[in-house]
Amino acid sequence: MKAFLLLLFLTTLIFKDNHAQLNLNINIINQPVWGPIGYDYARFYYLPDLDMYYDVNQRNYIYQENKQWIYIKNLPNRYRNYDLFRGYKVVLNTDNPFLNNLDHRVKYKSLKNNHHQQAIIYSKDKKYHVIKGHPRNNDNNGHNGFKKSKKN
């Protein structure tokens, strides 16, 4: 009986570890090439320059308009010239981070106009090579439709 329980425990640990690794890899693939380096997992980005969020898994921008949260696939027209590669992104791994928007505005105010964060597209770390649009990804030739800015 002890051997069976030990085997069951070990199987559970192995399955749990493999499941976590699968989720990790899926999330890295979902991260946009303009996202920040240094994160194995990112659920949302907060963009202090724009006071909006990006849902990494759903690939939606989330912003507030007329006291309602709007989900859209592309940046609103008023931000069409904003350079996502240069703007600072705060990684938030909580559900519905926009519910704490006022706190985020205050907490990350100092990161507005901060261009000192390296984007994934510039990374030589092999874990990011799986992302479509990364220059070292052999499966694509583009940059997900984004214009690559010069690194400062």
pLDDT in tens, 101-130: 999 999 999 999 999 999 999 998 888 888
Residue 57 tokens, joined: 């898994």
Q: Are strands 44-47 and 90-92 parallel, antiparallel or unpaired?
A: antiparallel
Q: CA 33 to CA 133: how far, in whole Å?
A: 6
Enter the tokens of residue 52: 């909006």
pTM: 0.74
β-pair type (44-47, 52-55): antiparallel
% of the chain exceeding 70 in pLDDT: 74
State residue 27's pLDDT score. 85
pLDDT at residue 151 tops 80: no
Query: pLDDT confidence of 9, banded at 50, 70, 90?
Result: low
pLDDT value at residue 65: 94
| Nearest one of 23, 88, 82, 29 to 56, comparing CA atoms | 29
The tens digit of pLDDT for each residue in 56-93 reads 999 999 999 999 999 999 999 999 999 999 999 999 99
- pLDDT interval class at 3 (50, 70, 90): low
Residues 6+ positions from 82 with CB-CB distance below 8 Å: 49, 50, 75
In which order are the strands placed within the sheet that holds 44-47?
A: 68-72, 60-65, 52-55, 44-47, 90-92
